Amino acid sequence: MNATRIAFIGGGNMAAALIGGMVKDAPEGARPSIVVADPNEERRRSLAEQLGVEVTADNHAAIDGAQLVVLAVKPQVMQSVAEALAADLAAGQLVVSIAAGIPVAALQDWLGGHAAVVRAMPNTPSMVGCGATGLFAAEAVSREQQSDAESLMRAVGVVQWLADESQIDEVTALSGSGPAYAFYLMESMQAAAEELGMAPEVARLLTLETVYGAAKLALAADEPPAELRRRVSSPGGTTERAIAQLEDSGVREAFARAIRASRDRSRELAAKVADGAAE
């Protein structure tokens, strides 16, 4: 991390996860100083006590002297927050937005033409250090600033840089919305087991551990998930019959349609923001 001071505008769950990851991973003498601006007094107190960061209710004071400014507010208030900060931003400051659905061009416009902007699309497992984040950098972002943005997001999981901002929509559909697909699968598996007579607490534990273990196995394996599936699908066995039922039910096609629908909705929302910024 090249930045020696980082300002978070917004101290919600994702901001706390990023800060916690940085505090945990960075050596004692190499940690950047961190300040969090949040309007909620109780939230500020909690962040200061649990993470040992500087806190303030003043967004303008927070960004003073920070090389990296993280916009971690809800998308619906991003415009007002960004416009209020525009006059105080220095040319060399990097702005990273973790708000969903807001294009770089809109952010730059709201920030008074500030050019050094990175857009990040993290997902909710970031809050337990197992996130997956897509990053897109505006042309004016330097290599050193890209390195800082990557270090920030690596504190909570894996990072992938995107060559084109439009790919953010695919990231949103896959990893951004993806945890909900996994939860839906867990919900369905547990419900099916309970219908067969299994006790709810047993069904829940076996479901969660099975999905968790399968993900760990897939991460550790050199083979793709399709091959791992084949290995546990013995000819004529129970798993083969279950998979055949899923195939006959069109589950694969349903997932494809779901991911396309999520991507299309992401594009629609981004277009609305862009149209509003252009007016």
Region 158-168: mean pLDDT is 93
Per the model's pLDDT, the better-predicted residue between 27 and 192 turns out to be: 192
Model pLDDT for residues 93-120, shown as the tens digit of each residue: 999 999 888 899 999 999 999 999 999 9
Within-domain flag for 172: no
Strands 117-121, 131-137: parallel, antiparallel or unpaired by DSSP?
Answer: antiparallel
What CATH number did the domain enclosing 210 receive? Answer: 1.10.3730.10
Residue 85 lies in a domain: yes
Name the nearest CA neighbour of 179 among 243, 251, 252, 130: 130
Residue 224 lies in domain = 178-259
Residues 33 and 131 in one domain: yes
**217 and 129 inside one domain:** no
Q: Is 275 within a domain?
A: no
What's the token pair of residue 91? Answer: 């040319």
Regarding whether 159 and 131 lie in a shared domain, the answer is: yes
The residues facing 117 across adjacent strands are 95
Same domain, 184 and 236: yes
pTM of the predicted model, to two decimals? 0.85
Q: In what order do the strands lie in the sheet with 54-56?
A: 54-56, 33-37, 5-9, 68-71, 94-97, 117-121, 131-137, 157-161
Q: What is the pLDDT of residues 217-268, one digit of tens each?
A: 999 999 999 999 999 999 999 999 999 999 999 999 999 999 999 999 988 8
Instruction: Determine the straight-line distance between the first and last CA of the chain, rounded to whole angstroms.
Output: 38
Three-state DSSP state, 157: strand
Total of domains in the chain? 2
271 domain-assigned: no
Residue 191 lies in a domain: yes
CA proximity to 277, closest of 82, 117, 59, 92 = 82
